[in-house]
Amino acid sequence: MQQDTDITLITPDAPIGADTHGGRAKCLQRLARLNLPIPPTIALSFKAIQRIAAGDMPDMRALLSQLDEHALLCVRPSSEDSDWGGPRAVLNIGMSGAMCETLGARIGPEAAKRLYLRFVESYAIHVARLDPDMLDDMPGDPEDALAFALRVYEDEVEEAFPQDPAVQLAEVLRSMARAWDGTTARLLRQAKGAPADAGLGLVVQEMAIGLGRGECGSGVMQLVNSKSGARQITGRYLSQSQGRDALSGGKEALYLERDPRGPSLEELAPEAFAQLKSHLSEMREKLREEMQAEFTIENGKLHLLDGVRVARNARAAVSIAVALAEDGIIPREEALMRIEPRALNELLHRQVDPEAKRDVLARGVAASPGAATGKIVFTAEASQAAAARGEATVLVRRETTSEDIRGMHDAVAILTERGGMTSHAAVIGRGIGLPCVVGASSIRFQTAARKLTAPDGRILKEGDEVTIDGTNGEVLFGRAPLLDAGHDDSFQVLMGWADDVRDIAVRANADTPMDAQMAHNFQAEGIGLCRTEHMFFEEARLRVMREMIFASTSADRAAALERLLPMQRADFADLFRIMKGQSVCIRLFDPPLHEFLPSDRAGHRELAEALDLPLSKVTRRVEALAEYNPMLGMRGVRLGITVPEIYEMQVRAIFEATLQVAGEGVEIVPEIMIPLVSASREVELVKGRVDSVAAAVRSETGRDFAFRLGVMVETPRAALRAGDIAPQVAFLSFGTNDLTQMTYGLSRDDAGRFMSEYVQLGVYPEDPFHTLDLDGVAELLSIGAERARAANPNLTLSICGEHGGNPESIAFCRAAGFDYVSCSPFRVPVARLAAAQLAVRDKIGAA
Amino acid sequence: MQQDTDITLITPDAPIGADTHGGRAKCLQRLARLNLPIPPTIALSFKAIQRIAAGDMPDMRALLSQLDEHALLCVRPSSEDSDWGGPRAVLNIGMSGAMCETLGARIGPEAAKRLYLRFVESYAIHVARLDPDMLDDMPGDPEDALAFALRVYEDEVEEAFPQDPAVQLAEVLRSMARAWDGTTARLLRQAKGAPADAGLGLVVQEMAIGLGRGECGSGVMQLVNSKSGARQITGRYLSQSQGRDALSGGKEALYLERDPRGPSLEELAPEAFAQLKSHLSEMREKLREEMQAEFTIENGKLHLLDGVRVARNARAAVSIAVALAEDGIIPREEALMRIEPRALNELLHRQVDPEAKRDVLARGVAASPGAATGKIVFTAEASQAAAARGEATVLVRRETTSEDIRGMHDAVAILTERGGMTSHAAVIGRGIGLPCVVGASSIRFQTAARKLTAPDGRILKEGDEVTIDGTNGEVLFGRAPLLDAGHDDSFQVLMGWADDVRDIAVRANADTPMDAQMAHNFQAEGIGLCRTEHMFFEEARLRVMREMIFASTSADRAAALERLLPMQRADFADLFRIMKGQSVCIRLFDPPLHEFLPSDRAGHRELAEALDLPLSKVTRRVEALAEYNPMLGMRGVRLGITVPEIYEMQVRAIFEATLQVAGEGVEIVPEIMIPLVSASREVELVKGRVDSVAAAVRSETGRDFAFRLGVMVETPRAALRAGDIAPQVAFLSFGTNDLTQMTYGLSRDDAGRFMSEYVQLGVYPEDPFHTLDLDGVAELLSIGAERARAANPNLTLSICGEHGGNPESIAFCRAAGFDYVSCSPFRVPVARLAAAQLAVRDKIGAA
């Protein structure tokens, strides 16, 4: 006999677990323990339902004998996690001709017939699997409708509608058990994270009937707002209704609390309302969670059918968790653990209202979260012009390049045809918090003709409005309703708690004063990566850069760089001031020089004019600088060694800026990082030059300053040779973007073309540019870190690639003993929370 | 007193070593031990010379007391390796007014004065450091000349010419000791491989005087030809001469052996000649080396002044070593050890005669050894057309691409502006044994105008002749004299001995039947890498490839591939037949598809016509396929997974070809290699498809066949994950070209721009595309090999990159337990010899 555990009446002491009987059964038991008015309920375990699905039906009479034989019953799903879904609840089991008579006497014949009809309908559709269309021509009168439904049933099934509650219940249970095993249901729940063998429990509950004489009805109620987390009674009630009818009850549904806009439950049934409020408060305190109650009022008497965790967006989740902790209901650590770090992205950016209708034009890669609406423009110049007119624009490009930077800053969102998670547009977008969809290759980009053709044929011209949803990777037609970002007080409080327990530092990648300000606002502990090349794309500087590139002697080159020096010095001084003495790690010039040259004929002509050179010479030089694989070419330290003047200028600018802000009371020890190292001798050579410049500046100014030199480890070889490199430097920072590219032999700019197929086929479990590859790239990180630390125990170790903000990467870095992670400013909060959770988890594990 | 060891008379028992007294002193001792007629000689050790250079002069009288006080003396350098050079020999020390008188009585006054003059001249120039110009106006008469030289000396030095032999000798020794320490001398010898602290020894020898009455004179003689190694008495003799005068004696110098072209030593002094021959034979046998004798005849009496190792080119070296071993003088193993493997390159290719004058237009990277002369052409088509007319052409291109393959096969040499050791031109050049210079960027390539401008301003037009020296990386003006390749009998014998001791297999990389034939001729043990993509560049196939690329459905794609199938099947069947059952490892399609599309506007138009498509569609598709970093893009297994039809066609072609040749009696187990793997799931997916095709072919034909599937390890991640990959496959082959690119983050096509500077600065000790990087790339090889073998002990391991033929790589692979190396056909002999030497070395080490 299974009675004891697999089929059991829910009592405070019954052996019921969420992992054996499902969350709903467990929650009902908790409510029962609180002595709340829940109807008698029998829980069927996952095992029991598996047996039923396999054809082994338990004894219905024995089961029914535990419940009131006069009550109607409902069956509801109880899976381990309510997000995983489950078959629809079936109400009013036990209805039959006879029961209809009996019940009619108590609640009125019409109400009884409506209950019967409702049962016949759901039984026909969900148990007998009739086509719902067959019941379309239902007459309006309940009696006629019932007769019609019974006739359709009998015609189709060729049997009379079952009248025995035991038969009815058995069929309902069998049908629900089998539905759970259906392929669609399985795929749907697996998509939500359910394991392949997730079980279904069911609960069989005596029904409180929301129809009949006196105040009868049903509704749902909770004490907080699901979108904001604010304390506010929320829900709906509908007289003469069952289940969750109130939620779809339209105008007839009532408010709960007294409300000027219309009648309320509080007025109609004040006692039941007061009880509900008090029950919910008790549930919150005892269940340590904000709950929603599903309730029925039967002739003025309150029945709690169910309690479920209040649905919530990220902002509400933070607010609820903080409130629970502040009220002493849960410890702060638990509040921290209740927030999924990635969910914070929702708070930091405007979002498309999840309840709004979406007119999706196309999908791409969700490259930078948040949403924004603007008029489409096809050039960076148009974006700048529109910004000057105060218009919001969405910058649409095949792909973006460094030349588009200004236009990107002036747009509200970016859309590109090409690229993946770490393409230029994506990286910049995340860096400056701009919603961005890349790789939207299903759209036809006719940028020359200034139009876009959506896959469905709709054509968008320059000036047409679209909404970019960078959180979901969707391009929406027109203006979609947006929800504002929500980094409110609760958020700040939670972040404070996170910082209290966190044991790995979090810095931000920031290239511009604007980025740095954002990093500071998000309380980053310094800048972990300041890329200096963007600084050269401003028009005036770009011209000088090009002169430098075209210089034929070292002296000419130095003269051009001399003009860039004061600008760079000002850049760095600005950053130092904004960061108020926190560490700033400046990466020396990294990209290949050809990125600074125009790529088309017209650009060459312009450049020839500007430099007063024959066009042929310009074209020839541009061609000579072109590379087959720029990622693997003449850039980074290779440029630093073969064209040393650039690094010398940058290093001097850093030192002079350091002295300048020191004069203003900002004490800083700048960090200088050498990119793309593959051999320790490269470090030796650059170190020698940096030391000479430092000596020169010290002797010119008569003032002293400190600095730290380090290496960006982004080639596999640098990781392997970290033991040679480490003794020469103060820090190593792993650039996981390039390291991933080289370890996989995979260009991030070209991977977009097949990455989604690769992830779908399971070739890569995840896009390695998005999630640090723990099996390959991370091994190189481990090897590098171990060898480096062995050779130089005082070394600072960090990660500064795009992965820096990912919880998985942070877990890895923390375990590997890294000192800090560095990520886009907008991911700093995610990283702070993720790091805090890791520390809490360790503390729990250790306890 | 140093006499015992640092200044010692050369006797059979004196404590003299090549590493303490230099090679010449040691050799003279060996001759003394053979009882050959060498004049009394004192050896001064490295230490003695160091002391002299430092000003600590030994007692000259004590030294001179060991020699005949009436003899003239000469001093000659004796460094550890004669290649390292050293100061010039000084003859006739001891000459003075008095000695001139005494000697004049014996050999005639004029002869005596000539000896004195010779000494005064060399003393003035090399010891007193007078400007040689001062002696330009020397009178013709010996007596006047001597008076003139003595006067110049006394005027300039303001001292009388020293008359005391002890003073003369001391000054000569001091001067020679100091010259060795000069910067130029040091740099010169270090360039030849001398260590920084290389020492100089000197020998002081009593002179036999080649002037005077009776038959007097001097000469050199050896028993073999220095260019061919053939047994042939070679050398010159000049009457009334000293030292090596005979070699610059022009018409007056005599042949040694009786010769129809003129008088000979054999006729003049038959006894001395016979002694010489016999001495040389004895030296060969006892010194176990082919020697050259320097000799003087004094009044008919033979004196051996010195014996040195016969200078030889690679061909002669092989011939001499084989002959010594065949004559039982040295064991075969020693013959093997005496040949520098890389020197074999000289034998396998025609070379510019090292004695010819070179008119160098420019230098570039020596990308493929050998030399050839041809008319320059600027397009592959022109090369093909010229070949059809029977003209030799040098194909000149900015860089070569797959489209140039046919033209390259038809040229005699290649010259490119761009690229490095592993650029397309270099790899193909080495593969087909074509001399090739790449990266000759000092030349201005005006390919559109069909001309080249050399750095010195000389202009070459299409049709002008140049000689490409791919061994030295030089472009020579016009037609340079060439030496033929020399893989003669001795070479074959040596290779046979090498194979007898070798314990690692050597295969060849071969893509075409021509390559395969070459591989077979060089006795490669199979093909280790057959790249299949070249097969698609033939015009008829290229058109079908392009149709395939433009196919919009999988069915269209399959239809195009269906047409390629019979061609591929024939390709493979050909290879299998040529290799006669030896292993053939076929790499599945690797390059990105865009390599098969035309890159210019005209090409697009042509293609649009051929495919009957609008130009815009062609352009769009070509653009869509373009990549930022093709090396890291959509190629290799990525293409194999996303466009599976290509691999399916290739695999079917391999299986059908296997069955076809089996019908002809050629039994083969083809090896199928998957390129660019970075995750084991890629292997799993391809393996599944390969197995299905195998099953289909077996069921269609009703015949069985075996095959082996493997992976090309060329991404760092594949090496790290070798443990996951190995259990699924029969072999792993490391593709060190790409692995080097990815480990360094360095594109081989772009590295040429700075590689030479990097190597000069010592940033990289060598070009890692040329010499396997033992510190980085090789560690990944070790990791991969270890993990793979642990997971699958039966796995075959090999290397198939460009490094495969390098002795250093072979040493690494052998130590790491690899089964074979694979390299260009032309490097197979080098690899066979290098592998043999390693085995011999181990045997010696173990003994």
Strand order in the sheet with A474-477: A360-363, A474-477, A465-469, A371-377, A393-397, A413-416, A436-438, A365-368
Average pLDDT of B94-115?
92
Mean confidence (pLDDT) of chain B: 92
CA-to-CA separations, B142 to A534, A726, B114, B149, in angstroms, rounded: 80, 72, 6, 10
Q: Which tokens is A435 given?
A: 């919603």
Using DSSP's 3-state secondary structure scheme, residue B820 falls into: strand
Q: Which of A601, A678, A760 has the most B C-beta neighbours within 10 Å, making it the best mutation to test the interface with B?
A: A678
Q: If you measure CA to CA, which chain B residue comes closest to A685?
A: B763
Residue A117, domain member (yes or no): yes
- Indicate if the pLDDT at residue A756 is higher than 90: no
Say if residues A422 and A406 touch (Cβ distance below 8 Å).
no
- Indicate if the pLDDT at residue A249 is higher than 80: no
pLDDT for the residue numbered A1: 40
Residue B179, domain member (yes or no): yes
**CA proximity to A697, closest of A661, A730, A653:** A653
Question: Phi/psi of residue A436, each to 5°?
Answer: -150, 130
Residues B297 and B388 in one domain: no
**CA proximity to B447, closest of B380, B360, B391, B390:** B380
Residues B132 and B182 in one domain: yes
* Number of domains chain B is built from: 4
Read off the pLDDT band of B2 (50, 70, 90). Answer: very low
Q: If you measure CA to CA, which chain B residue comes closest to A680?
A: B763
Q: Which of B632, B716, B721 sits opposite A716 (nearest CB)?
A: B716
| End-of-domain residue from the set A206, A233, A248 | A206
Q: What is the CATH number of the domain that holds A155?
A: 3.30.1490.20
Using DSSP's 3-state secondary structure scheme, residue B65 falls into: coil
Average pLDDT of B106-129?
92
| End-of-domain residue from the set B285, B312, B339 | B312
A424 in active site:
yes
Q: How far apart are CA A459 and CA A453, in angstroms?
A: 4
Residue A341, domain member (yes or no): no
Longest dimension (CA), chain B: 106
- Give burial (CB, 10 Å; 0-12/13-18/19+) of A605: middle
Secondary structure in 3-state letters for B355-422? CCCCCEEEECEEEECCEEEEEEECCHHHHHHHHHCCCCEEEEECCCCHHHHHHHHHCCEEEECCCCCC
Q: How far apart are CA B368 and CA A381, in angstroms?
A: 50
CA-to-CA separations, B752 to A644, B745, B747, B749, in angstroms, rounded: 19, 14, 9, 7
β-bridge mates for residue A414, sequence order: A395, A436
Q: Which helix (H) or strand (E) holds B846?
A: helix B828-846
Inter-chain contact A632–B741, Cβ cutoff 8 Å?
A: yes
Residue A580, domain member (yes or no): yes
Q: How far apart are CA A493 and CA B347, in angstroms?
A: 80
Mean confidence (pLDDT) of chain A: 92
Share of chain B above pLDDT 90, in %: 67
Question: Phi/psi of residue A749, each to 5°?
Answer: -75, -25
Beta pairing class for A474-477 and A360-363: antiparallel
Cβ neighbours of B744 in A, within 8 Å:
632, 678, 715, 717
Average pLDDT of B409-429?
87
Residues B814 and B675 in one domain: yes
Task: Tell how far CA B103 is from the center of its chain.
Answer: 51
Q: How far apart are CA B333 and CA B839, in angstroms?
A: 10
Q: What is the CATH number of the domain that holds A443?
A: 3.50.30.10
Beta pairing class for B73-79 and B474-477: unpaired
Inter-chain contact B681–A764, Cβ cutoff 8 Å?
A: yes
What is the length of chain B? 847
B489-500 pLDDT, tens digit per residue, is: 899 999 999 999
Q: If you measure CA to CA, which chain B residue comes closest to A682?
A: B763
Q: What is the CATH number of the domain that holds A714?
A: 3.20.20.60
Residue A337, domain member (yes or no): no
Residues B253 and B145 in one domain: no
CA distance A679 to chain B (A): 7
pLDDT for the residue numbered A247: 79
Tokens 């003689």 label which residue? B221
Full residue range of the structural domain in which residue A519 is found: 502-537+562-591+647-846
Read off the pLDDT band of B486 (50, 70, 90). Answer: low
Beta pairing class for B7-9 and B41-44: antiparallel
Inter-chain contact A747–B632, Cβ cutoff 8 Å?
A: yes
Tokens 């009675």 label which residue? A3
- Indicate if the pLDDT at residue A3 is higher than 60: no
B530 in active site:
no
Residues with Cβ < 8 Å from B69, sequence gap 6 or more?
none
Helix count and strand count (H, E) for chain B: 33, 30
Read off the pLDDT band of A245 (50, 70, 90). Answer: confident
A167-203 pLDDT, tens digit per residue, is: 999 999 999 999 998 888 888 888 888 898 899 999 9
Residues A686 and A717 in one domain: yes
| End-of-domain residue from the set B153, B175, B206 | B206
A35-78 pLDDT, tens digit per residue, is: 999 999 999 999 999 999 999 999 999 999 999 988 999 999 99
Residues A222 and A361 in one domain: no
Say if residues A63 and A330 touch (Cβ distance below 8 Å).
no
B559-594 pLDDT, tens digit per residue, is: 999 999 999 999 999 999 999 999 999 999 999 999
Residues A265 and A125 in one domain: no
Q: How far apart are CA A102 and CA A92, in angstroms?
A: 14
Inter-chain contact B629–A743, Cβ cutoff 8 Å?
A: no
Residues A44 and A94 in one domain: yes
Q: Which of B601, B627, B635, B678 has the most A C-beta neighbours within 10 Å, making it the best mutation to test the interface with A?
A: B678
β-bridge mates for residue B203, sequence order: B43, B76
Residues B185 and B229 in one domain: no
Residue B387, domain member (yes or no): yes
Cβ neighbours of A720 in B, within 8 Å:
743, 775-776, 779-780
Average pLDDT of B698-708?
97
Helix-helix angle B539-550:B615-625, to 10 degrees: 90
Single out the catalytic residue among B800, B803, B813, B823: B800
Q: What is the ipTM of this complex?
A: 0.80
Say if residues B86 and B104 touch (Cβ distance below 8 Å).
no
pLDDT for the residue numbered A84: 87
Average pLDDT of B403-413?
88
Tokens 């001495």 label which residue? B279
Q: What is the CATH number of the domain that holds A235?
A: 3.30.470.20
Cβ neighbours of A686 in B, within 8 Å:
none
CA distance A7 to chain B (A): 44
CA distance A719 to chain B (A): 9
Residue B629, domain member (yes or no): no
Read off the pLDDT band of A844 (50, 70, 90). Answer: confident
Residues with Cβ < 8 Å from A575, sequence gap 6 or more?
A510, A513, A516, A527, A530, A584
CA distance B506 to chain A (A): 28
Residues A368 and A444 in one domain: yes
Q: Which of B720, B773, B787 has the most A C-beta neighbours within 10 Å, making it the best mutation to test the interface with A?
A: B720
**CA proximity to A99, closest of A113, A87, A81:** A113
**CA proximity to A415, closest of A457, A374, A357, A459:** A374
Residues A16 and A124 in one domain: yes
Residue A320, domain member (yes or no): no
pLDDT for the residue numbered A4: 65
Average pLDDT of B194-222?
92
- Indicate if the pLDDT at residue B245 is higher than 90: no
Q: Which of A627, A763, A780 sits opposite B679 (nearest CB)?
A: A763
**pTM value?**
0.81
B311-324 pLDDT, tens digit per residue, is: 998 889 999 999 99
Residues B456 and B508 in one domain: no
Q: Which tokens is B673 given?
A: 């290699």
- Indicate if the pLDDT at residue B441 is higher than 80: yes
pLDDT for the residue numbered A261: 86
pLDDT for the residue numbered B449: 87
Cβ neighbours of A746 in B, within 8 Å:
632-633, 678
Q: How far apart are CA B505 and CA B568, in angstroms?
A: 28
Q: Among the ranges A217-231, A487-501, A699-713, B84-98, which has the highest mean pLDDT value? A: A699-713
Say if residues B438 and B419 touch (Cβ distance below 8 Å).
yes
Helix-helix angle A489-501:A828-846, to 10 degrees: 50
Q: How far apart are CA A417 and CA A406, in angstroms?
A: 19
pLDDT for the residue numbered B448: 83
Q: Which long-range CB contacts under 8 A does B813-816 form with residues at least 24 apart?
A: B813/B504, B813/B781, B814/B503, B814/B504, B814/B838, B816/B781, B816/B782, B816/B785
Q: Which helix (H) or strand (E) holds B151?
A: helix B142-157
- Indicate if the pLDDT at residue A431 is higher than 80: no
A251-310 pLDDT, tens digit per residue, is: 778 889 998 888 899 998 999 999 999 999 999 999 999 999 999 999 889 999 999 999
A448 versus A41: the higher-pLDDT residue is A41
A527-536 pLDDT, tens digit per residue, is: 999 999 878 8
Cβ neighbours of A742 in B, within 8 Å:
632, 716, 742-743, 745
